């Protein structure tokens, strides 16, 4: 009986890689992965990502003596669920519209203007701060990219969320020496998108500075802002970025701009990062990027693939004040789940290394957009919300058949 079972297992595992990976779209560079390649034939190896600059995803898998994985490497889209993945794609396109010398963060669509704002976090070669942001005008064809100056300027911003004429920005860095328009502290700023005037809404917790307000999302019913405070100010390069080691615990907080009150909402994540509501605002998704952690005793960061890189789902209480019922939702297949956005149909999207993963409401990966740059942020955009705009060292537009929620 034992021998008989062994034979069946061997036969079941005898498929070739050619059957696992195939071209599956007539008009775009897409590869389909059969059965999630759950059983890979033969010896295989996937290089581990060791830091933010050297990242490897599923398409970098090497199967001994087999060249068919080349299809994965030569694709812009990896389809894991053939039916729903193809529906998401429709007739997609992938275009690079802009290359930048800075890390472009906090991509946010402003429907009223049909424009996308993105924050220049810092110059990647020199770690120097940038005093301007970029705005992409989708009313032009092709869309134009131009510098955007707020008054006073905003530096080292990493998160964005739009609500009611105001672009709320999470500022990660703190540096009192940068005096163009006053000292800059980690916190939340409001930009009036018509005038460009920027106002500090929050820059401390009872006098203690924030470590890094990395990402934020506004609840449109109450105007309250949920935000993540993590260690990445100091960890991102010391004095250029933050004046001192963190003094506050990392946590998720809720801020009420009308009263100034801040309340801790969850302090169980290692490094809380991206946040997004489901379309009905009953679920909150928050990513934990603790696998990128500060190096103890100095200002730097390190990546450990065995660290925390899971998105968690929470129930939002009816009064929108509490997050309850925390559960693990999705572990990224590469690097960390940095930025999060939710599609109108509830699918959850996260940037993960050189790409964006699209996951269903149960946390099952359906599709991956594969890029050749680290995707720091992304947003749905366009009059029909059927474009996905990716930012990092580039600005990329993906046109497809998945739509975002209009806020």
Ligand X SMILES: *[C@@H]1O[C@H](CO)[C@@H](O)[C@H](O)[C@H]1NC(C)=O
The residue within the footprint of ligand X, chosen from 325, 364, 384, 406 (CB under 6 A), is 325
Q: In this structure, what token pair is assigned to residue 208?
A: 């203690």
Distance CA 20, CA 364 (A): 18
The residue within the footprint of ligand X, chosen from 136, 243, 323, 352 (CB under 6 A), is 243
The residue within the footprint of ligand X, chosen from 239, 249, 295, 384 (CB under 6 A), is 239
Nearer to ligand X, 68 or 315 (CB): 315
Nearer to ligand X, 88 or 262 (CB): 88
Nearer to ligand X, 87 or 360 (CB): 87
99 lies in the binding site for ligand X (CB under 6 A):
yes
- Residue appearing with tokens 């163009």: 180
DSSP conformation class of 143: P
Nearer to ligand X, 9 or 64 (CB): 64
**Residues β-bridged to residue 51:** 54
Residue 268: Cβ within 10 Å count: 10
175 lies in the binding site for ligand X (CB under 6 A):
yes
54 lies in the binding site for ligand X (CB under 6 A):
no
26 lies in the binding site for ligand X (CB under 6 A):
no
**Residues β-bridged to residue 390:** 378, 396
Q: Cβ of residue 111: shortest distance to ligand X, in angstroms?
A: 20
Whether the CB-CB separation of 109 and 129 falls below 8 Å is answered with no
Of 9-17, 26-34, 93-101, 192-200, which segment contacts ligand X by CB under 6 A?
93-101
CB contact set of 140 (below 8 Å; sequence gap of 6+): none
98 lies in the binding site for ligand X (CB under 6 A):
yes
Whether the CB-CB separation of 40 and 33 falls below 8 Å is answered with no
177 lies in the binding site for ligand X (CB under 6 A):
yes
Of 20-28, 92-100, 159-167, 210-218, which segment contacts ligand X by CB under 6 A?
92-100
Binding mask 387-406 for ligand X (x = CB under 6 A): --------------x-----
DSSP conformation class of 318: T
DSSP conformation class of 90: S
Residue 7: Cβ within 10 Å count: 9
The residue within the footprint of ligand X, chosen from 282, 300, 346, 364 (CB under 6 A), is 282
Strand order in the sheet with 272-277: 272-277, 283-288, 310-316, 323-331
Of 95-103, 209-217, 304-312, 348-356, which segment contacts ligand X by CB under 6 A?
95-103
Distance CA 127, CA 36 (A): 39
Which sign does the torsion angle of CA 166, 168, 173, 175 carry? Answer: positive
Give me the count of residues in the chain.
407
Distance CA 249, CA 252 (A): 10
Nearer to ligand X, 182 or 196 (CB): 182
Binding mask 102-121 for ligand X (x = CB under 6 A): --------------------
93 lies in the binding site for ligand X (CB under 6 A):
no
CA 141 to chain centroid, in Å, comes to 27
DSSP conformation class of 42: S
Q: Cβ of residue 393: shortest distance to ligand X, in angstroms?
A: 9
360 lies in the binding site for ligand X (CB under 6 A):
no
Interacting residues with ligand X (CB under 6 A): 70, 73, 87, 90, 96-99, 175, 177, 239, 243, 282-283, 315, 324-325, 372, 401
């Amino acid at each position: 009986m034992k021998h008989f079972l062994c034979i069946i297992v061997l036969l079941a595992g005898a498929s070739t890689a050619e059957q696992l990976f195939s071209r599956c779209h007539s008009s775009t560079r897409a590869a389909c992965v059969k059965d999630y390649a759950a059983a890979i034939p033969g010896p295989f190896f996937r290089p581990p990502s060791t830091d933010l600059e050297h990242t490897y995803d599923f398409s970098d898998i090497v199967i001994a003596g087999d060249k068919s994985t080349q299809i994965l490497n030569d694709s812009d889209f990896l389809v894991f669920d053939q039916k729903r993945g193809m529906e998401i794609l429709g007739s997609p396109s992938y275009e690079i519209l802009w290359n930048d010398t800075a890390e472009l963060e906090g991509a946010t669509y402003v429907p009223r203007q049909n424009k996308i704002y993105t924050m220049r976090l810092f110059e990647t070669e020199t770690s120097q701060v940038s005093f301007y942001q970029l705005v992409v005008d989708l009313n032009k064809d092709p869309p134009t990219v131009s510098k955007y100056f707020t008054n006073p300027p905003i530096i080292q911003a990493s998160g964005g969320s739009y609500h009611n004429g105001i672009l709320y920005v999470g500022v990660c860095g703190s540096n009192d020496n940068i005096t163009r328009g006053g000292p800059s502290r980690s916190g939340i700023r409001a930009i009036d998108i018509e005038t460009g005037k920027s106002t500090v809404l929050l820059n401390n917790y009872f006098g203690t500075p924030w470590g890094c307000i990395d990402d934020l999302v506004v609840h449109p019913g109450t105007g309250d802002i949920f935000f993540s405070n993590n260690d990445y100010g100091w960890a991102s390069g010391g004095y250029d970025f933050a004046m001192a080691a963190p003094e506050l615990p990392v946590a998720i907080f809720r801020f009420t701009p009308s009263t100034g009150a801040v309340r801790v909402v969850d302090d169980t994540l290692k490094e809380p990062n991206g946040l997004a509501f489901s379309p009905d605002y009953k679920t909150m998704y928050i990513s934990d990027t603790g696998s990128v952690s500060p190096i103890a005793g100095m200002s730097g960061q390190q990546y450990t693939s065995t660290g925390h890189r899971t998105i968690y789902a929470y129930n939002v209480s009816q009064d929108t004040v509490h997050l309850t019922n925390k559960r693990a939702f999705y572990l990224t297949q590469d690097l960390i789940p940095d930025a999060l956005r939710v599609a109108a149909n509830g699918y959850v999207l996260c940037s993960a290394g050189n790409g964006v993963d699209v996951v269903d409401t149960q946390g099952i990966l359906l599709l991956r957009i594969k890029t050749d740059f680290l995707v720091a942020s992304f947003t749905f955009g366009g009059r029909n919300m059927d474009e996905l705009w990716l930012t990092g060292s580039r600005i990329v537009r993906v046109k497809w058949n998945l739509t975002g929620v209009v806020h």
